[in-house]
Amino acid sequence: MRAFVIVLVAAFSLAGCFPPYTTHPVGTTIGFSNDPVLTGTWRAEATSADDGGKFQYYHFLPATNGSILVVVVPSIGGSSELALARLTTVRVGADHIMNLRLIAGPDSDASGQPPGTVPLLYRLDAKGRLLFFTPDEGAVKDAIKARKIAGKLGKNGTDAIVITSSGAALDKFFLSSAGLALFSVQQVTLTKLN
Amino acid sequence: MKTFGLALAALAALALSACYPPTTTHPVGTTVGLKSDPALIGTWKSGPDPDRKPGEFYYYHFLTNKDGILVVMVPSTGGEASDVIAADITTAQFGKFGVMNATLVPPPDSDDKEPMPHSVPILYRTDAEGRITLYLPDEDATKDAIKAGKIAGDPGKSGTDDAVITADGPALDKFIASKEGQALYTKPFAVLTKLN
């Protein structure tokens, strides 16, 4: 499994299974703002020697409607590897959470996603690199089963987990230490190019 | 024509012009073979753009697709989501130069769903250092060529209308390969340096 976040979500989409979604974005009670730290171009290092030095460019571009467009392009390859997503960001203490949803590209289809967005936590490390974390699926399932958060587990092992809490309840949960602890799966490290 | 305005903004120099680049109703290269030039595939950066701040440039990502090549142009910094441009291209080789037939596709931030009906014939040359220089046909020179009957087309109703070359494939290729055809390409609008 490729460890590039947006590409990962796109790969899930192609496979018909998805990472945990939320029907409401995280941060409605705090307020969204385009995080200027993201703006520009980043590169994700190849995670496998098999990639032959190939990597992904992540272009983050602010949009006039308050969201951010992210264009993920392979350094070399086919158009099927191009991924596009729209996201909103919210600050959560020292970290940030982005709410991401794939959008259709010139050669890609984003239909079939569950309604809502994928919550991703990100932070800068001491070297200025951007680290991304996704919620641990097992931990999200446990939280839903324990009724710590409202959601649907899906009919089988491949269906998406969808957190259905209202915006206020979602923020209260994800902004708690227990909620933030769900983001335990580091997916990718990006290095700023310009 | 907003899409073309965006393209011109991205493609730099002609942004100061009120004109749009000429298009062709048939692709250039049907008689010499429309192929995907493998030398293009990968990521390139454009040279300095006088309309952008120092250090800002465009990334050109040339990606293979089932119909040829998809090129995605993304500003390095200082750009917005609406500045992203994508075009399907086919290429043809004419000795020392090549021609890209670029058909803009709706950008992610657009409500448009249909690609543009015609393609823009972009001439490109590779220099000894591996850089690629791109040229758009000059609007006025193209209109003059159409009016003079050197190539079939519609010069537009007024000075600001777009020129559309309607010649069929063989006539178009013969014209582009001639000195008169190449004379349409007077000024480069971008010089690309390969990154990977």
Expressed as residue numbers, the domain containing A88 is 5-192
Kindly determine whether residue B65 and residue A79, on different chains, have CB atoms separated by under 8 Å: yes
CA nearest neighbour of B23 among B122, B159, B89: B122
Average pLDDT, integer, range B28-35: 95
Better pLDDT: B21 or B24 = B24
> Residue B5 has what pLDDT?
37
Token pair recorded at residue A63: 């949009």
- Asked if residue A13 has pLDDT above 70, the reply is no
Half-sphere exposure of A71 (CA within 13 A, CB side): 32
pLDDT tens-place string over residues B89-121: 999 999 999 999 999 888 776 666 677 789 999
Better pLDDT: A112 or A137 = A137
User: CA-nearest residue of chain B to A53?
Assistant: B196
Q: Which residues of A touch B83 (CB under 8 A)?
A: 61
The three-class DSSP label of residue A14 is helix
Kindly determine whether residue A76 and residue B79, on different chains, have CB atoms separated by under 8 Å: no
Average pLDDT, integer, range B47-67: 84
Better pLDDT: A124 or B160 = A124
ipTM: 0.89
**Backbone φ, ψ for residue A71 (5° rounding):** -115, 120
> Residue B15 has what pLDDT?
32
- Asked if residue A86 has pLDDT above 90, the reply is yes
Nearest to B80 among A64, A71, A103 (CB): A64
- Asked if residue B188 has pLDDT above 70, the reply is yes
Q: Which residues of A touch B196 (CB under 8 A)?
A: 53, 75-76
Q: Residue B151 — pLDDT band, cuts 50, 70, 90?
A: very high
Kindly determine whether residue B74 and residue A61, on different chains, have CB atoms separated by under 8 Å: yes
> Residue B67 has what pLDDT?
81
- Asked if residue B8 has pLDDT above 90, the reply is no
Kindly determine whether residue A59 and residue B64, on different chains, have CB atoms separated by under 8 Å: no
pLDDT tens-place string over residues A19-77: 889 999 999 999 998 899 999 999 987 666 666 788 999 999 999 888 999 999 999 99
Q: Which residues of B touch A87 (CB under 8 A)?
A: none
Name, in order, each residue with C-beta under 8 angstroms of B93's C-beta and a sequence gap of 6 or more: B29, B32, B33, B35, B37
Q: How many domains does chain A have?
A: 1
Phi/psi zone of residue A64: left (φ > 0), alpha (ψ -120 to 50 degrees), beta?
Answer: alpha
Average pLDDT, chain A: 86
Q: DSSP string spanning B100-144? A: EEEEEE--TT-S--S--SSBEEEEEEE-TTS-EEEEPPPHHHHHH
Distance CA B134, CA B187 (A): 9
pTM as predicted: 0.89
Q: Which one of A41, A61, A81, A82 would you mutate to disrupt binding with B, by most B Cβ within 10 Å of its Cβ?
A: A61
Kindly determine whether residue B64 and residue A106, on different chains, have CB atoms separated by under 8 Å: no
> Residue B158 has what pLDDT?
62
Lowest mean pLDDT segment, chosen from B4-18, B39-53, B73-87, B95-109: B4-18
β-partners of residue A124 are A130
